[in-house]
């Protein structure tokens, strides 16, 4: 059985991420992702995980973190399964 405290924390993080309006209509019209990236970066910092935010265009941000002993494929799969396609905003 899942630890309810961890489940509550996971649900809170998912809720917080969904609240960021990162809508993307294409053709360069999009709300910025940087605030969401900074939120995730703060969570990682609390876990002593270093990360960097890179912008492909103003406000169009990507966060990169390296966790020793993992591969980027594992991290991407874990992220997309956890948050990637489970909300109406496709985070």
pLDDT tens column, 32-47:
889 999 999 999 999 8
**Does pLDDT of 57 surpass 70?**
yes
Q: Are 78 and 86 in contact (CB under 8 A)?
A: no
With a pLDDT cut of 70, the percent of the chain lying above it is: 71
pLDDT of residue 40: 92
Residue 6 pLDDT exceeds 80: no
Domain assignment present for residue 12? The answer is no
Residue 25 forms part of a structural domain: no
pTM greater than the 0.85 cutoff: no
Number of domains in the chain: 1
* pLDDT at residue 27, rounded to an integer: 84
**Residue 72 half-sphere exposure, CB side, CA atoms within 13 Å?**
4
pLDDT at 10: 85
Domain assignment present for residue 49? The answer is yes
In a domain? residue 23: no
Instruction: Provide the residue range defining the domain that includes 49.
Output: 30-91
Asked whether residue 60 is domain-assigned, the answer is yes
Cα 67 versus chain centre, distance: 15
């Amino acid at each position: 059985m899942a630890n309810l405290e961890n489940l509550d924390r996971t649900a809170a993080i998912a809720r917080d991420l969904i609240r960021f309006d990162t809508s993307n209509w294409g053709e360069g019209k999009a709300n910025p992702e940087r605030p969401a990236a900074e939120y995730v970066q703060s969570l990682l910092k609390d876990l002593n995980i270093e990360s960097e935010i890179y912008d492909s265009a103003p406000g169009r941000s990507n966060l990169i973190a390296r966790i020793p002993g993992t591969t980027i494929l594992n991290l991407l799969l874990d992220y997309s399964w956890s948050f990637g396609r489970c909300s109406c905003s496709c985070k």
